[in-house]
Amino acid sequence: MTILTAEFPQSRLRRNRQDAWCRDLIAETTLSVKDLILPLFIREEDAERDIPQMPGIYRHSLTELLTICEKAQQLGIGAVALFPFNNPGLKCEEGLEALNPDNIIGRAVRLLKERMPELGVMADVALDTYTTHGHDGVIRDGKVDNDDSVKALTEMALILARNGVDVVAPSDMMDGRVGVIRKALDKEGFQHVRILAYSAKYISSFYFPYRNAVGSISCLGKADKETYQLDPANPKEAMREAAQDVLEGADMIMVKPALPYLDIIYRYSEAFHLPIVAFQVTGEYSSLKAAEQNGWIDFNRAMIETLIGMKRAGASAILCYAAIEVAEVLKKQ
Ligand code: PBG
């Protein structure tokens, strides 16, 4: 591509950058509070609240959930995404608690839809927080079994829909799950329930704080998820994943983590004409927080810069643990 521009001194690029009003006029990307989705960890009343790896982020009881969601809504945040912390006693090999309509997420979804019907509610579809082995699916003969996992995940998605969730987000990376979930939802009359497919979910060291927050780290032990999550080296495989999810009926596709994968967000936005959601994961949040705590970085500025980067790459929306802090900054601007 040739970029047509006059030569210096006819062209002086700094001319447009002189004053704040003009810089605002020429801004090519904007970050709005309406682009943000707030991820929240939910716990039973008696479970530990603090997450040592995520200063400023807590596991919320159902009462606290209402308080933080009200605050988020007042600031203009339109949607939340829920992740459970399950007490170890609730976990089993098959992750059956995921199929309990009254589990912590089921109760949280019902509470939010009853008390704050205007707030968008998303929930993860994966078994990792419910299984004793910490994998996203079920194990058969020592391996994460694709088709049996899809069966369990489809049941999980249906239960979430019956509880009133607006968006189910399969984060499990099993093959074919989007199509099977779509059909099952439609068959039960849940045509309105959206599917946000985690299409490009890379194996990542940046999930470490999350696995502590939801309590799956000790279950996984030394194991990781390389038989189903994407290799960070592979962009083409990410295109195939998304193409498949799109053909199976995904309403939105996700790239996760976000900052190390801006090229994937960009490729998706060029190739697919449906909304791209970026997930700024726990490790991305915690890295910036740690730098702030050491006095090495201005957290708010760095955070907003990374979010603008995701928007510039082509993301329509961003899951951001700091959404409340960011909303407060944006409000002042
Ligand atoms: C797994 C899942 C993961 C996250 C959300 N759901 C990662 C994993 O353990 O593989 C990560 C979220 C984050 O780090 O913010 N179903």
How far, in Å, from the CA of 19 to the mean position of ligand 1? 43
| Predicted confidence band of residue 5 (pLDDT cuts 50, 70, 90) | confident
124 lines ligand 1 (CB under 6 A): yes
The single residue of 201, 225, 289, 311 carrying the catalytic annotation is: 201
Tell whether the model's pLDDT for residue 4 goes beyond 90. no
With the most atoms of ligand 1 within 8 angstroms of its CB, the residue from 122, 129, 136, 287 to mutate is 136
Global pTM exceeds 0.85? yes
Each residue's pLDDT tens digit, 211-220: 999 999 889 9
Give Cβ neighbours of residue 224 (< 8 Å, ≥ 6 apart). 203
Strand partners, 140: 143
- What's the confidence (pLDDT) of residue 222? 87
Helix, strand, coil in percent for the chain, rounding step 5: 45, 15, 40
Q: Look at strands 194-201 and 167-170 and give their pairing.
A: parallel
CB atoms within 10 A of CB 143: 11
Each residue's pLDDT tens digit, 216-241: 988 999 889 999 999 999 999 999 99
Taken in order of first residue, the domains within the chain and their CATH numbers are: 31-252 (3.20.20.70)
Cα gap 165→109, rounded to integer Å:
6
Cβ atoms of 206 and 54 closer than 8 Å: no
Cα gap 319→322, rounded to integer Å:
9
Each residue's pLDDT tens digit, 184-200: 999 999 999 999 999 99
Handedness of CA 18, 22, 28, 34 (dihedral sign): positive
Tell whether the model's pLDDT for residue 296 goes beyond 90. yes
- What's the confidence (pLDDT) of residue 69? 98
Is 34 annotated in the active site?
no
Each residue's pLDDT tens digit, 248-288: 999 999 999 999 999 999 999 999 999 999 999 999 999 99
- What's the confidence (pLDDT) of residue 1? 66
Mean per-residue pLDDT, 8-26 = 96
What do you get for the CA distance between the two ends of the chain, in Å? 36
Contacts 24+ apart (CB under 8 A), 190-193: 190/158, 190/161, 193/161, 193/165, 193/166, 193/167, 193/168
How far, in Å, from the CA of 327 to the mean position of ligand 1? 23
Cα gap 85→59, rounded to integer Å:
8
Each residue's pLDDT tens digit, 115-174: 999 999 999 999 999 999 999 999 999 999 999 999 999 999 999 999 999 999 999 999
281 lines ligand 1 (CB under 6 A): yes
How far, in Å, from the CA of 178 to the mean position of ligand 1? 18
Give Cβ neighbours of residue 210 (< 8 Å, ≥ 6 apart). 83, 281, 282, 283
Cα gap 88→79, rounded to integer Å:
29
How far, in Å, from the CA of 186 to the mean position of ligand 1? 27
Is 225 annotated in the active site?
no
Q: How far is CA 229 from CA 170, 233, 237, in A?
A: 12, 12, 11
Each residue's pLDDT tens digit, 66-119: 999 999 999 999 999 999 999 999 999 999 999 999 999 999 999 999 999 999
